[in-house]
Structure 1
């Protein structure tokens, strides 16, 4: 019995050993080769490493550096050429002759209230005291001034009494004659820029801040260029940073040279240099733009006198133009008085006359200073500065 059991155990052991050999041989069997991977077309090419061989050179014939040429050979390598800045084209300004006639529509839009108001009052059947008081009020509202108003009303009353009948045509002619007499037709309104026996003519432009003085100086340069003159601009308003830039821009548009100084520098020095440059260049006119003086600042007004004295070391001033804002009305007369005490005003420029119904300031300021209005500004356009013509002005006041 034990012999049988032992034989069974041995048989089991032998069978287990044989099975292990078979399994082990199967495990050691080599695996089949893996299928080739599809290349990833999105992966970037590998970077070359130090020591790797370069690609096989092609058979292309070698060229010298002269034949190949360097990119951007006109400029040093690594240095960018500055962009080319083209000079602005020189403009040809509109002729100054007849400008006021062309701009009459702008003037009449703002001034018609005065002329039409007077014509309406004078056309009443009965011209009693109340009507004449209304005529006076209309003139005073237009800033004609007290004394000129009294004179005009007195003359109108006398002529209407003598005339008797008053047709619209007769009234219009009567009013035109009296307003022309009030504005003045016998004043010399020429801007003096051509002194005898010397060049250049010297014009100084003065005025309070905000009147449009620098812009007026630039526009005056255009008027002179339109009349065939050559111009140098002196930017003597050194206290306002943008003033010199603004004036230079105006000059460049018409080919006028601008003399500048350092910001907050001596205005008298800039004015002196401008006249000196003008002489050396042989130009016809030097225009000097001064700082906008507040008439309450005594020190600044004294400095304006200094500018005038320094300029006159070269030659006498031919014109001192005072720029006034027509919209300020009677306040402009206060400014005018103070400026007249410091420098000898020779002419007046009234700006913004298209934006006010107070055209009577022309009469008032002439009476106050005893000098003529020579130029008027009728808009913001470059050629909206016009020589003052009494006839065209009065015609715009009373309409057609």
Structure 2
């Protein structure tokens, strides 16, 4: 009896479990048939891409036939836009090298300018000599005229004595005869036979340039004269190196370099307040290495009353001479300084052995007699004269042209 009851209970439990399974399966099937996948949403600004499926669910998701790698192609690498290259800064234009006018006959071409400033001397003398009676008072006036023109005491006395003798012999005196007489005596006084060549060629040596030392006091136009002389030499077909040995005046080296650049001449310079002798030495050395024809050395303006500075100028010359002799030493004098210029000339001559004189500002004064007095004082010829501020107004001194400018008829 008990066994029958146990069998019945087990049967009931099995039937209940089977019924529960059937109900659960039906519910799942219904739920599967009613559930709809959510449609994909899209916006105007973004498209959502389908998430990749995994395993069996991945089947059927490939759209269209598969393409080979050749058909797909590789994406081109993104290239950053090339920045436009900035234009290279334009190189500064090379200054145009000037071609100076030939030096030959330059003083003759400038004679008109010279005569306007110097004619008062010749005109005054001719007026005095044209008087009907030449008494002692007249001859004293002739002397005063010559002294005022800075001819100097000794040359003046010599000239007056010769004029008195020749006028006495001549007797009658026409204006033309007087002009010819005065021209002859002035030309003799100026010294037509003196060697006025500016020596720019090395003496007895073919492997070094000629060396020209330019000296003078402050304010005489020394640096400008050096630059103008470079133009004269370039016009004559010579290659020039400039030595800026004036290291005490800040603008001197710049000024000289500007002159050199205009004619294609190299400028050798040193530090401001540096050793002038060292700069001069380097200039000659570089001139030799470059096979230049001439080296022009511009020294600092010296006051002839400053012993230390004058000694330093002597040092510059000695240091340069270690490479060879200095071929020319030009003393630059201001023609307007008159007899004071002679004092300067004496001191410079004692220190550096002057070989030639350059007279500047000769066009602005009626004191052209300084040509005579400075030559007589030093026994050294005037070789160059400055007749104006123009770049080509430095000219070789020609005694005939100078005297003609003095006595020509206004």
CA spacing shift, 1:380–1:64, aligned 2, 3 Å? farther
Shift in Å at residue 69 of structure 1?
3.4
Q: How does 1:106-255 map to 2 (within 5 A)?
A: 106-195=113-202, 196-198=204-206, 199-255=208-264
Shift in Å at residue 64 of structure 1?
6.6
Match of 2:298 in 1: 289
SS in 2 for 1:85: coil
Structure 2: gaps (5+ residues): 1-44, 47-75
SS in 2 for 1:342: helix
Q: How does 1:348-387 map to 2 (within 5 A)?
A: 348-387=357-396
Shift in Å at residue 63 of structure 1?
10
Q: Which deviates more from structure 2 when the two are superposed, residues 238-247 or residues 101-110?
A: 101-110
CA distance, structure 2, for counterparts of residue 94 and residue 372 of structure 1: 24
Q: Deviations along 1:289-317, whole A, 9 cap, x unmatched? A: 00000111100000000000000000100
Match of 1:11 in 2: none
SS in 2 for 1:228: coil
Q: Deviations along 1:338-390, whole A, 9 cap, x unmatched? A: 10110100000000000111000000000010000000000000000000000
SS in 1 for 2:213: strand
Structure 1: gaps (5+ residues): 1-52, 55-61, 76-80
- TM-score normalised per structure 2: 0.79
CA distance, structure 2, for counterparts of residue 73 and residue 113 of structure 1: 67
CA distance, structure 2, for counterparts of residue 322 and residue 387 of structure 1: 14
Shift in Å at residue 74 of structure 1?
6.0
How many residues are aligned here?
Answer: 334
2:83 to 39, 61, 70: 70
Q: Deviations along 1:229-267, whole A, 9 cap, x unmatched? A: 000000000000000000000000000000000000000
1:340 to 349, 367, 370: 349
Is residue 2:398 matched to residue 1:389?
Answer: yes
Shift in Å at residue 150 of structure 1?
0.2
SS in 2 for 1:376: strand
CA distance, structure 2, for counterparts of residue 89 and residue 209 of structure 1: 31
Q: Deviations along 1:107-146, whole A, 9 cap, x unmatched? A: 1111000000000100010001110000000000000000
CA distance, structure 2, for counterparts of residue 128 and residue 63 of structure 1: 114
Match of 1:9 in 2: none
CA distance, structure 1, for counterparts of residue 275 and residue 200 of structure 2: 25
CA distance, structure 1, for counterparts of residue 346 and residue 131 of structure 2: 39
CA distance, structure 1, for counterparts of residue 78 and residue 133 of structure 2: 107
Q: Deviations along 1:259-295, whole A, 9 cap, x unmatched? A: 0000000000000000000000000000000000011
CA distance, structure 2, for counterparts of residue 64 and residue 98 of structure 1: 77
CA distance, structure 1, for counterparts of residue 97 and residue 357 of structure 2: 29
Which has the higher Rg, Structure 1 or Structure 2?
Answer: 2
Q: Deviations along 1:47-79, whole A, 9 cap, x unmatched? A: xxxxxx89xxxxxxx99758x53222566xxxx
Q: How does 1:99-110 map to 2 (within 5 A)?
A: 99-110=106-117
Shift in Å at residue 194 of structure 1?
1.5
SS in 2 for 1:269: helix
CA distance, structure 2, for counterparts of residue 279 and residue 194 of structure 1: 12
